Structure 1
Amino acid sequence: MKTSHFNLLHFFNANVRFFLAFVLVVFGSSIAWSNAPPDEAYDRLSGHVPVQHIKNSALLGQKSSSDSVPMTVVLRYPNEAQLNSLLSKLYDPLDPSYGHFLTTQQFTDQFSPSQSDYQAIQSYFKSQGFTVAGIHSNRLVLNVSAPVVTAGQAFNVQFNEYAQGSRHYYSVDREPALPHSVAAKILHIAGLQNANVWHKHAVPLSPYQSMGVTPNQVGTGPNGGLQPSDIASIYELNSAALPASKGLGQTIGLFELDGFAGSDITAYETKFGLPKVQPTTVLIDGFNGKPGSGADEVTLDIELQMAVAPSAKIIVYEGPNSGAGVIDTYQKIATDNLAKQISTSWGLCENYSSSGTLTAENAIFKQMAAQGQSIFAASGDSGAYDCGGTSMLNVDDPASQPYVVGVGGTSLKPGSGEVYSSESVWNTSSTEGGGGGVSTFWALPSYQANIPGLASIKYRNVPDVSLDSDPYTGYAIYSGGAWQIYGGTSCAAPIWAAYTAIVNQQRQANGSSALGFLNPTLYTLAQTSSYSADFHDITTGNNNHYYAAIGYDNATGWGSFNGLSLFYDLVAGPSRSATSTTLASSANPSGYGSAVTFTATVTGSSPTGTVTFIDGTTTLGTGAVSSGKATFATSSLTVGTHGITAAYSGDTKNNASTSTALTQTVNKAATSAALASSLNPSGYGSAVTFTATVTGSSPTGTVTFKDGTTTLGTGAVSGGKATLATSSLSAGAHSITAAYSGDTKNNASTSTALTQTVNKKATTATVVSSKNPSVRGTSVTFTATVTGSSPTGTVTFNDGTAKLGTGVLSTSGKATYATATLAIGTHKITASYGGDTNNATSVSAALSQAVK
C-alpha cells in the first residue's frame, strides 16, 4: 500500500508540474506574483529542475521548512558578445591579440558584472531573508543560504523530497521566479536541487580480477601496472630534448570532489624516486578534505601528474559533491588563476545535467580560456552511453563543454622494452569503454568546423584527444595504503594536463605565453603534415557505437600524443607554410569605367582565408581564397597608372604574403559623338537646333559646333547631350560637325559631318500705284513692297510682258518706278522681285492701271 501511495503522489505531482508548465507556455514566462512589487513582473529562470531524475523518482513530500539550503548564484556577463569576440582573437594566430591572455583583474574589469550590479543582487537576497555567505572578487558568483520556507517564498517554488531507488534527494518543483530586474542579471542558481551526483571516472582493476578475468598487465610497476618510467618511455617523454626537471616552475590544478591521504602520495613518490612535492590543498565551501569513497580518484590524479611532471607544483581544489560545490570549486580555480593546466576526472551525463549547470560552468570555463588556462576533462568510462545502459547515446559533462579539452580512452599495446607499439579504442564491455559522441546541448565550436570524420557537423563532438585508459593496460597507483592498477579516462586527463605543464615550462623559458585553451592549437596542428608525427592516430576498435578511423573520430578524437614531436610543435606554436602571392589583370591597359578583374594566385598548403586588393595604400576590396585563387572586379579605377598589390591574409596553416605591385594603366574612355538637326532642310532665318549625343563614361565637358571650319558656338554636355540653336545660317548647304572636348575620364571625339540645307526665304511682292486712273502724259509712280528676310536687290516693273524699268529695294523692302509714258488704256502692271542671296524671287499680282 505504501508503494501505491507513493505512486499516486508521484502521479499527482507529475500532473501538477505538467499543468504549471502548460500555464507558463500559454501565458508566457513573465508572471506577476502576488508578492511582487506592483510595478514589476517576475520572470522565471530556466535549467534548475532535474526533469530526467524526477520522472524516474517517487515524490516523498515537502522538504522540511526549517532546513537550510546553501546556494550559489551565478551572474550573467553583461557583455558576453565582446568576451566571445576576445576569445576568438586570443586564439587566432593571425590576430595581434593572439596569446595576450588577461590577468584575473583585467578579466574582472572588462567582463564581470559591475560592482553596483553585484551589490544590488546581494541587497535583493538580503531583503528576502537570505544570508550572504560568500562574495567573490570576480563578481560572477555569490553564495547565499536561507531556510527552505524563505527560499520557497522568495522563488515562488516548493522544495520537495524525492526517492530515486535507494537515494533520496530534494528539488524545487518548478523553475524559480524573480523580479525582472533581478532575473535579468542571473544566469543560474545552483543548490535548488541535489539530485545530481558527479561521478569519478577511475576504474580499478580489482573488480575484474574478482571475476576471474586475467588482466593484460603491460607495465613494469607494482602488479604489472605502468610506472612513471613506462609512461615516459612509451609516450616519448624521456628525451633529453625535454626539460630535465619536468614541470619546474609550473602549477597544475586538480578539480576534486573528495579528499586524499598524504601518506599515499608520499609512498608513490618514494617508490619511484620522485621529488618530494606534497600537493597544496584548497578546501571549498567548508569541505573537510577527509578521504572518502572517491579518494582513489583524487589520489590517482595527483600521482599520475607527478609521474609525468614531477617538478610541478600541484594545487588540489576540493569541494563538496553538489551543484553549488562544483560551481564554486571551478570558479575558485579561475579566480586564483595560479594553474595554467587543470584536469578534472569528475563528470555527469550531459542529459542529466541541467541547462543551468551547463551554462554556469561554461561561463567559468570562458574566464579560464581568457586567462590562458587549459582544462582537461575525462570523457567518461561508459563508451558512447554516458548515462548508463545501451539505449541512449550521450556524452559526459564537462568534457563536452566547448572550452574544455575532452580526453578519451585507449587500450595500450606497448612493444618490447616499454616502447610505443599501438593503441586501440578502450572497450571492456557493452557498458564500459572510452567516452565519446555528440553533445545534445553545445553547438559545433569553431575549431571543429570543416573537420573530416565528425559524427555531427551541428553539435560539439567528443573527445578531442585520448590516452591509455584501459584498466587491463592500466597504471600502478598507491591508494588506500596498497598498490592497485587503475584505468579509466580519469588516468588520461591528468596526464595530458601534466604534459601541457612541460610544454608551458619550455614556452616560458623561451619567453612565450602559456598555451592557454589547447583545442584551437591541437586542431590546427592535426590538420597539418605534422599530424602523423605529433599524434598516435587510433584506427581500430569502437566504443560500442563510434568507430576509430583515420584522422579524427568520436571514439578517440585525434588520438594520443607522441610526446617529443608534439612538444616541439606546441613549444614553437602553430607553424605555417610559406606562401607566395602573384597578381594578374584581365585587361591592361583598361578603359575608364570598364570592368577589370584582378586575380591573385596564392601558393602554400591548401591556403584559405582572404586576399585584400590594394591600390597604393587604398583598399579596393577583398576576395575569398578558393582553390588557391581570389578575385576582385572593379570599374572604379581613375584614369592614370595604379600600383595594385594583393595581400594574402594567411590562415592557420599558411603565412601571409603580398604580391609585387602590378602597374595597371587606365586610359580615358573612348567616346563617340553623333549629331542631329531639329529641322533639315530649314529656311533661311528660321531657328534650327543641333544636338550632339556623346557616349562614354558619364562624359562632361563641352561640344563645339562648327560649320565647316567656322565655329558656330559651344554647348555644355549634360546627360550625354549638348545643344546649339542658331538662325544665322546662310542659305545653301552647310557641313556641320560636333567636336566633343573630352574630360578627365573621356577622350575627345568628333561627329561625322551633317549636311544642313538652308533654303532661301520665301518672299511676296505687291505693287501699288500712286495714281489710278492716271492721265496720259502725267507721271505715275509704282511702288513694289517685298516681304522676306531683309530682302535686297531689284524689282523689275513690267507692263504685261514689256519691261518698264527697275527699282532698287530700300532697307524697308520697297522699290519704286515712275513713268509718264503710258498710253491711254488699261495696263497690267507687275512687280517682279529678282531675289538675293537669302531671299527667293517673287512676282506680284498684276495691277490694272487705267490711263485716260
Structure 2
Amino acid sequence: MHCIPGVWKGALKRCRKLFPRCFGVAYFKRNKKMKSKASAAKAGEFAVPRISTLALALSLACIGMAAHAGTDTSNWVSTKTDAFLPRVQTHDSTGVAVTADKVAVDMAQGEEKSVTVALQLRNKAQLDSFVKELYTPGSSVYHKFLTPAQFAAQYSPTQAQVDAVTAHLSKAGFKNINVSSNRLLVSADGTAATVKQAFNTSLKRFTHEGRNVYANETAAQVPPELATIVGSVLGLQNAAIHHVTHSGLHSTQKSIVQAAAGTETSHTPVQYPGIYGAVSTPAASNAVVGTISEGDMTYTLNDFQTFLSNNPSLPKLTPTVVYVGSQSSDESGEVEWALDSQVIYGASGGVKQLIFYTASSMEDAPLTAAYNAAVTANVASVVNVSLGECEASAKSSGSQAADDAVFEQAVAQGITFSVASGDAGPYNCDTDSQGNPGVANTTTKKKTYDVSEPASSPYVTTVGGTALFTTSAGAYNGQAVWNEGTAQTGDGSAVRIWSTGGGFSKYETAPSWQTSSIVGTGHTTRGLPDLVFDAASASGTYIYITASNNGGTAAGVVGGTSMAAPMFAGFWSRLESAHGNNLGFPNSALYAAIPSNASLVFPVTSAAVDGDAIDYNGWSTTYPGMKANASGWSAATGFGSLNVDKLNAYITANPTVFPAK
C-alpha cells in the first residue's frame, strides 16, 4: 500500500513476523493470483481483499504495537508533565469516588490529538541574574529591556535543539509541526498512537465534571538526548481547564458592611479613576494594552462599541483581535471579555490600542500559546489575564513551567502581566460537579489551602479583590477584604465560597522582592496577591453585553477579581504612558517603595457580615484562610489598592526607584 508512509513499512514487516495471527486473510496480503502485471500494477503493491472493520482495527493496532516494539524506552527521561490520570478525583458508574485511572478506557489509537512541546530556557541561571539586575537601581543593565530577537539569541533554545525536537516528533508520526518565533513552543498534530510513540504514555478517556475528557496515564517521557531540551508536553489532558474569574449576584450571599461611613454601591468603569485617585494622571493615550481571551470575539467587539457610545468622554477605538491558533465559535466567555475590555478602557481613560490575544480553548496549551503570542509580538506594555486554574493541576500538566518561561521573557522585555488571583478564596482546587472552584465540603479540606495559576507565577503582578465603599458623592471611603460568604453552586451539588484568592504557592519559590520582613518569616514560596481593587458584586461595575440578547443595555452588576485585574491593567497603562512606556514589571519597585510610603496605596479596613468581623478570605473564623492587614502586606489583600496620582508623583520624584521617561 503506497499510502502507508515508509516509516510504517518496516513496522508492518515486524508486525507480520511478531504477530502472524493478525495477518491472515483479514489483512493486506500479496495477491499471488493476479493474472497480469497490469492488474498487479493497478492493484498496487498489496491487494486489498474484503475485510471486516474489526479485523482492520486489529491490524492497525498490530502496526502500532510493532512500531513501538522496536523502540527501547528503558532509559527515557520524564518531563515536567506528570502522570495526570491518577491525580484526578472522579466517580465510577455507581457514584463512588475513585481516581480516574480506575475507570478510564484507552483512547482510540487513530484519534487525532495535537500537542505543544514546551522547551526549556537556555542559560536559565544567567537569565535569572539578568532579570534581577534589570530591575535593580544602579545596575549597568537597569531598565535596558531586551527585544524578542535579543532574548531569543541569548536565552531561547538553539535552532539545533529545536531541530532535534522536531525530528523526534516527525519520526513518531506527527505532522504540521510549527515552532514559535522565540523557539519556546513546538506544536504538532498527531494521534493517540503518535503520542505513545513520542512520549511513552497512553491517553485514556473518562467522564469528569459533566464532560468527556482524557488524560495521560504516565509521565510524558523523551529520549535522554532531549532531556535538557524538552520541559513539558502540553495537550495530554483536558480534565483540568481554566475558568474565568468574574462573579455575579448570588441569592444567598451576604452584604459586607463597613464599620465607618460609606456604602457598597455599583459603579461604571469610567468612575473608577476618580475613586482610586487617577485624576491628574493623564489617560493612557501612548500605551498599548493586551488582554487574553478565548472563542469568538464578535459580540465582545460590538459590546465595546456600545460601551463607547454610552461614554462619549472616552476616545473612539476599534480593538484588534489576534486569533492564536484556530478560531473557535465559542461565545460562553462573552461576559468575561466584555468586562475585561470595558474596565481596562474605563480605568485607562483610553489607550492607544487594545489587543485581544484569543486562544482556541480554555485548555492549557492554547492559553500558553496566547500568552506567548503577546510576548513575542512585544507591542503591549501591559497584558491582562482574568483566568486561572488549580495550581496543582498546572504543576502536574507542565503548564506552570511553560507559562513561567513565557512570563520571564515578558519581564525581560519590560512587559507586565496583570493576573486575577481568583474568586474561590483559598480553595481553588476544590470543585463542584461542573469543575467550578471554591467548594470546601469537609473539615479536612477547609484546612487545605491553595492558590490559582498563573496568578502564582513570580513573573506576574497578581491582583486580588476588595469590597469598595464610597461616599454619597462617589468618593473613596474605605475597603474591606472581598468575602461574600457562600452560595449554592449552579448545579446545586455543593456550596462554594465567593472570596478573593490569596495565599502562598506550593511550588513557586519566593522572588527576591518578597522578603521575610514583608511577607512574614517562615514563608519561602511566592505569596499573593500583590495588590487589590474592587471585586465585590455589590460594588461591582455595569457592563454592556449583547450575547444574552438584551439589546446592548447595561447588564447586571459584575464583580470578581476579573474586574480587579483589568482595573490595575488600565491604571498601570496610564503610568506607563506618562513615563515613556519605560516602567516595566513593577513588583520589585512596589515592594521597595510601599512599605515606607503608606500614602501610595489605599489600605484595607475592617468590615462585618451580620455583625461578625471579616478580615479573612476563608470559610469562617474557624477556617479563616488568609488574614487581611490594615497596613502592610497580607496574603489576602496584598498591599491594598494603588493611589494612582500619588504613585505617579512618586515615580517622577524617584527615578532611582522608577526610571523617569
Instruction: Note if contact 1:318-1:329 (Cα within 8 Å) is conserved in structure 2.
Output: yes
The match for 1:365 is 407
Q: Aligned partner of 2:291: which letter?
A: L
**Separation of aligned partners in 2, 1:490 and 1:555:** 16
Displacement of 1:96: 1.5
Instruction: Note if contact 1:412-1:468 (Cα within 8 Å) is conserved in structure 2.
Output: yes
User: Taking structure 1 as reference, are residues 49 and 482 closer, same or farther at Cα in structure 2, changes over 3 Å only?
Assistant: farther
2:206 alignment partner, SS class: strand
**Separation of aligned partners in 2, 1:342 and 1:75:** 23
**Separation of aligned partners in 1, 2:324 and 2:256:** 38
User: Taking structure 1 as reference, are residues 526 and 68 closer, same or farther at Cα in structure 2, changes over 3 Å only?
Assistant: same
**Separation of aligned partners in 2, 1:397 and 1:455:** 24
**Separation of aligned partners in 1, 2:374 and 2:521:** 32
* 1:88 counterpart (132, 135, 141): 132
Of structures 1 and 2, the one scoring higher in RCO (CA 8 A, sep 6+) is 2
* 1:458 counterpart (524, 534, 550): 524
Give the root-mean-square deviation of aligned CA atoms: 2.4
**Separation of aligned partners in 2, 1:53 and 1:444:** 28
Which structure's CA Rg is the greater one? 1
2:480 alignment partner, SS class: strand
Q: 2:62 aligned with 1:35, yes or no?
A: no
TM-score, scaled relative to structure 2: 0.76
**Separation of aligned partners in 2, 1:526 and 1:282:** 36
1:471 alignment partner, SS class: coil
Task: Looking at secondary structure, tell me which structure has more helix per residue.
Answer: 2
Q: 2:511 aligned with 1:445, yes or no?
A: yes
User: Taking structure 1 as reference, are residues 519 and 115 closer, same or farther at Cα in structure 2, changes over 3 Å only?
Assistant: same
Instruction: Note if contact 2:254-2:484 (Cα within 8 Å) is conserved in structure 1.
Output: no
* 1:521 counterpart (589, 600, 607): 589
Instruction: Note if contact 1:73-1:143 (Cα within 8 Å) is conserved in structure 2.
Output: yes
**Separation of aligned partners in 2, 1:492 and 1:123:** 45
The match for 2:233 is 189
Q: Aligned partner of 1:410: which letter?
A: T
Q: Aligned partner of 1:65: which letter?
A: Q
Q: 2:192 aligned with 1:148, yes or no?
A: yes
2:426 alignment partner, SS class: coil
Task: Looking at secondary structure, tell me which structure has more strand per residue.
Answer: 1
User: Taking structure 1 as reference, are residues 35 and 570 closer, same or farther at Cα in structure 2, changes over 3 Å only?
Assistant: farther
* 1:379 counterpart (412, 416, 421): 421
Instruction: Note if contact 2:137-2:656 (Cα within 8 Å) is conserved in structure 1.
Output: no
Displacement of 1:224: 6.3
Q: 2:638 aligned with 1:557, yes or no?
A: yes
1:478 alignment partner, SS class: coil
The match for 1:804 is none
2:226 alignment partner, SS class: helix
Displacement of 1:212: 9.2
**Separation of aligned partners in 2, 1:229 and 1:46:** 44
Deviations 1:706-751 (A, max 9, x none): xxxxxxxxxxxxxxxxxxxxxxxxxxxxxxxxxxxxxxxxxxxxxx
Q: 2:152 aligned with 1:135, yes or no?
A: no
User: Taking structure 1 as reference, are residues 67 and 495 closer, same or farther at Cα in structure 2, changes over 3 Å only?
Assistant: same
The match for 2:473 is 417
The match for 1:292 is 331
Instruction: Note if contact 2:232-2:399 (Cα within 8 Å) is conserved in structure 1.
Output: yes
Displacement of 1:229: 3.8
**Separation of aligned partners in 1, 2:132 and 2:653:** 20
Instruction: Note if contact 1:409-1:489 (Cα within 8 Å) is conserved in structure 2.
Output: yes
Instruction: Note if contact 2:292-2:356 (Cα within 8 Å) is conserved in structure 1.
Output: yes
1:438 alignment partner, SS class: strand
Instruction: Note if contact 1:503-1:571 (Cα within 8 Å) is conserved in structure 2.
Output: no
Displacement of 1:565: 0.3
Displacement of 1:575: 5.3
Instruction: Note if contact 1:383-1:435 (Cα within 8 Å) is conserved in structure 2.
Output: yes
Percent identity at matched positions?
29
* 2:81 counterpart (35, 39, 47): 47
The match for 2:24 is none
Instruction: Note if contact 1:44-1:176 (Cα within 8 Å) is conserved in structure 2.
Output: yes
**Separation of aligned partners in 2, 1:130 and 1:455:** 49
**Separation of aligned partners in 1, 2:382 and 2:253:** 39
**Separation of aligned partners in 1, 2:587 and 2:525:** 16
Q: Aligned partner of 1:547: which letter?
A: K
Q: 2:531 aligned with 1:491, yes or no?
A: no
**Separation of aligned partners in 2, 1:75 and 1:572:** 42
The match for 1:543 is 617
Question: Is 382-391 or 458-467 further displaced after alignment?
Answer: 382-391
Instruction: Note if contact 1:251-1:501 (Cα within 8 Å) is conserved in structure 2.
Output: yes
1:452 alignment partner, SS class: helix
Displacement of 1:137: 1.4
1:577-588 equivalent positions in 2, closer than 5 A:
none
**Separation of aligned partners in 1, 2:220 and 2:202:** 9
Q: 2:369 aligned with 1:328, yes or no?
A: yes
Q: Aligned partner of 1:311: which letter?
A: G
The match for 2:318 is 278
User: Taking structure 1 as reference, are residues 156 and 467 closer, same or farther at Cα in structure 2, changes over 3 Å only?
Assistant: same
TM-score, scaled relative to structure 1: 0.59
User: Taking structure 1 as reference, are residues 122 and 153 closer, same or farther at Cα in structure 2, changes over 3 Å only?
Assistant: closer
User: Taking structure 1 as reference, are residues 452 and 477 closer, same or farther at Cα in structure 2, changes over 3 Å only?
Assistant: same
1:152 alignment partner, SS class: helix
Question: Is 447-456 or 302-311 further displaced after alignment?
Answer: 447-456
**Separation of aligned partners in 2, 1:229 and 1:166:** 39
1:203 alignment partner, SS class: coil
Instruction: Note if contact 2:254-2:485 (Cα within 8 Å) is conserved in structure 1.
Output: no
Q: 2:116 aligned with 1:66, yes or no?
A: no
Q: Aligned partner of 2:538: which letter?
A: Y
Deviations 1:506-548 (A, max 9, x none): 111xxxx6211111111011122x2x21101214221122221
Displacement of 1:120: 2.0
The match for 1:258 is 295
Instruction: Note if contact 2:80-2:401 (Cα within 8 Å) is conserved in structure 1.
Output: no
**Separation of aligned partners in 2, 1:363 and 1:203:** 30
**Separation of aligned partners in 1, 2:159 and 2:404:** 22
